[in-house]
Structure 1
Amino acid sequence: MSALTRGLTAGAVGTTVLNAVTYADMALRGRSASDTPERTVDALADRLGTEVSGSGDERENRRTALGALSGTATGLLVGVVTSYAHKKGYAVPGVLGGAATGALAMATTDGAMAALGVSDPRDWEASDWVADAVPHLAYGLATHATVQALSPQPGDAVRSPASTGLTFRSFLLGLATGGRTSLGVAGPVLTDARPEGPGVLARLGALGALVTEVVMDKQPSTPSRTEPGPLGGRVAAGGLAGAALAARDGSTPTAPAAAGALGALAGSHAGLAWRMWAGRKGSPFSEDWQAALVEDGVAIALALVACLPGRRGQRTAVVG
């Protein structure tokens, strides 16, 4: 895997974690989403002598999407910078490295806002700093850890190109991830039968995440999966799911990761279409939770079909 691919993957993981922490904070405190990304888009457009096109809801939707995309782009960029720094030997080890990566992402975002006159960090209160620092710290830890995990080490196995079957199974797992994001992790972890596979705590954590998502999916306050933030998280999780299957199989992750991400994109839209169809008047699924249970079953079945083959891993050569 190239440094660029490692960086993009790590940035996607970190961005997903940052979004998850942000949404958790919104759920716990009952606060609304920040409008800073949208105001940053407006300020940048003004600097460029243009404006976001459209009017009414159309313009607001476009501003929201552009704001989310700018955040994703920043996350990917910092991931790539971190990957190349690690490759050149400039990496800071452990938690300090994660904190440094988070600080870089935070400085990039806040610096842009300050330069555009959107917000002045010097005027922030302590609570504002905490609300900004905690998600970026989570981003940094996740991004740094992913770069380290994906970087080649002495003694690593020589990986073979991914087979067509593995790539197809990665697409199926991506479809499942589009329905339930946590299956991207839970599927490979819970079905891994290798002696060196995940431990009890990892399996319990994956199972807990899956159960939590299955419950939360039935709540009316859960945001739409096709909004920019949730959709980006599902696509990133699909890519990670494919990479996880490839790692277990001893294969290169590029094609499986791409197939998983594509599957997650398709699965997200297909799942939403199913829920909308099932919720129409006269449908046999008169309550949304009934359609959600059907989707649970389909997603889990797809994950099992994708993950059960090859669960004992493959033999690979080892290099010194």
Structure 2
Amino acid sequence: MAAPLTVAAASSRLVVTVTDSLSGDPVPGVSVRAKAAEADGAPQVTVRTDDGGTTRLHLEPGQWALRLRHGSFATTDHAVRLGDRDTTVFIALRPLLYRMPERLAQAVAEPTQPGVTSLAPTEVTRYPSPVPDPVRILRVLPGVASGGDQSATAYSVRGGSWDENLVRIEGVEIDAPQLLRAGLAETLSPVNGDLVEDVSFHVGVLPASFGDRLSSALDVGYRRPDSLEVFALAGATRKAATVSARTGRSRWIIGVRRADLSRLTKDLQTTGDFSPEYGDVQG
């Protein structure tokens, strides 16, 4: 509660109580400035209301101008004449109401299928591996067990074998991908991550169009470019290049990639005749 302020020796007490004009609740923290109305250079006093919305001032008898200010209420001015006796005033402040212009937001929600995980192009290469591969990220999804850190496509879903997992690229079924290459020799999966637009991983609930697979289905769609795009990359383990364009109504995209893990496998305690190199061209 603010302490009473004395302006002159012969003074009277002014009690100001401030409330909300809508709710009637007391308003604490209101700045109350009192200024003598008779002269321009007259002294002025500023106090704040307490938790009960009340403040007290000791002022000379006469005409005083009160200004009440608060961040959530409109500023108001009041004139008060003080006599020899105490004076009490009740002031109701009007809350500031900000009218926002109307905005209409509409969105079309795409229907979601149960058991489907959709992966954005930026997510399919986040899995830490010597070479970025969209299929490797499936290992961290619920219900998926890895077939080994050295294999790109060996994974099982809900206890099923590897041949119960379907892989489709642009609607074309890839039957037994990398069957002749396994382990360290299975450098890359058949999915080119540089061409990917969307990846949908179906677990358990499979549409009839996916055939008789029991565990999972990986459906991959490649990009449809709207303009000429050229991408090239050269690293220690992977080299890749992609060219895409649109000509009239036709759109095309071609990707070339080659991976070589020999620098990483030469120090492993592994013997045998295998080649950790892989390359392909897709379009």
State if a TM-score over 0.5 links the two structures.
Answer: no
Q: TM-score range by the shorter chain?
A: under 0.3
**Structure whose CA Rg is larger:** 2
**Higher strand residue share:** 2
TM-score (ref. length: structure 2): 0.21
**Higher helix residue share:** 1
